[in-house]
Chains A and B, each alone.
Chain A
Amino acid sequence: MIEIVEKKDTGRITNEMRIEFAAVSDNESFARMAIAAFVTPLNPTLEELSDVKTAISEAVTNSIIHGYENRGSLEDKVCMNCRLKGDVLEVEITDQGVGIEDIKMAMEPLYTSRPELDRSGMGFAFMEAFMDNLEVKSEPDIGTCIKMCKKIGISSWIDSEE
């Protein structure tokens, strides 16, 4: 199983959750709703909430249609690992799918490995744009792990400025 090892501890973990769900497309909206509920205590703006939901949706969709090749099998699992460190949200989306051979090419905007599926090739570009940080680790035939971070709630830094 692929894991992104943390280089240094950047802050105290204030909340944590872990969900594992079957790699079927119905669960894309489930993952979005779960993450939205998880960050709600941080009082995200509508914009932040929509950014996080879009990024998660892209990552989970990638796992389902590329990682597990859109098989729709209940045996295939996507794992969503979420942590809050103060007002920073960290999410890891892990699958044990086919993996990505060339990560650089996969992250190229408009590149898609499945053009026949009507994909736009914008998934990674959206994840990068909507989150503060994006790390991708993948190994062919072992799986892929996507780690994303985002600082939530500008109200907290406005308070600390005063």
Chain B
Amino acid sequence: MEEFKVIDNYLMIRLPDEIDHHKSVDISAKADRYILSKKVGNIVFDFERTTFMDSSGIGIILGRYKKISCFGGKVYAINTDNRIRRILLMSGLQNIVEIMATENRGGQDDRNS
């Protein structure tokens, strides 16, 4: 299950193990509720637990970006492994999303690439 947490002006979304269309509908709807009710400016997508993502994940990020970018909000993707990063880069998301890998997980993955 995905988890949501609001820290200051940031909405942290801990994404589930697998992100597909089935899961994305729920995540998007919940995220939008937080964006509206808590008035968060920025969104952080945490991929720590995520092992699978298809283009639905790109849809979640793009959709949320559209909602907050007009107010100057920023979107971050953290704890991305090689596979997640490849999918984000293929979709050109590096232009609108700050993509980060944690030291631990990133370092480990980069050795395998």
A and B assemble together:
yes
- Which A residues are within 8 Å of any B CB, using their own CB? 25-26, 28-29, 32, 47, 50, 53-54, 57-58, 61, 64-65, 117-123, 125-126, 129
| Residues in B neighbouring A121, C-beta threshold 8 A | 55
15 contacts between A and B (CB under 8 A): A25-B21, A28-B21, A32-B20, A54-B53, A61-B20, A61-B21, A61-B55, A65-B21, A118-B24, A118-B25, A118-B28, A118-B60, A120-B62, A123-B55, A129-B90
Which residues of B are in contact with A by a Cβ distance under 8 Å?
18, 20-22, 24-25, 28, 52-56, 58-60, 62-63, 83, 87, 90-91
Complex contacts, B18 vs chain A, CB 8 Å: 29
Known contacts: A50-B52, A129-B90. The answer to whether A26 contacts B58 by CB under 8 A is no
* B55 near A58: Cβ-Cβ < 8 Å: yes
Question: Given that A25-B21, A29-B22 are contacting pairs, would A126 and B52 also be in contact in the complex, using a CB cutoff of 8 Å?
Answer: no
Is the CB–CB distance between A61 and B60 below 8 Å?
Answer: no
What residues on B are CB-neighbors of A26 within 8 Å? 22
Contacts of B63 in A (CB 8 A): 118
Are A126 and B59 closer than 8 Å at their CB atoms? no
Q: Which label, helix, strand, loop or mixed, suits the secondary structure of the B interface?
A: helix
B residues near A57, Cβ cutoff 8 Å: 20-21, 52, 54
Complex Cα distance A48/B20, Å?
Answer: 18
- CB-CB under 8 A for A28 and B55, given A122-B90, A122-B91, A125-B90: no
B87 x A28 contact (CB < 8 A): no
Query: Which residue of chain B has its CB nearest to the CB of A31?
Result: B20
CB-CB under 8 A for A32 and B52, given A118-B59, A126-B90: yes
Indicate if the CB atoms of B83 and A47 lie closer than 8 Å: yes
Contact B58 A28 (CB under 8 A): no
CA distance A119 to B25 in the complex (A): 10
Selected from B52, B55, B83, the residue in CB contact (under 8 A) with A120 is B55
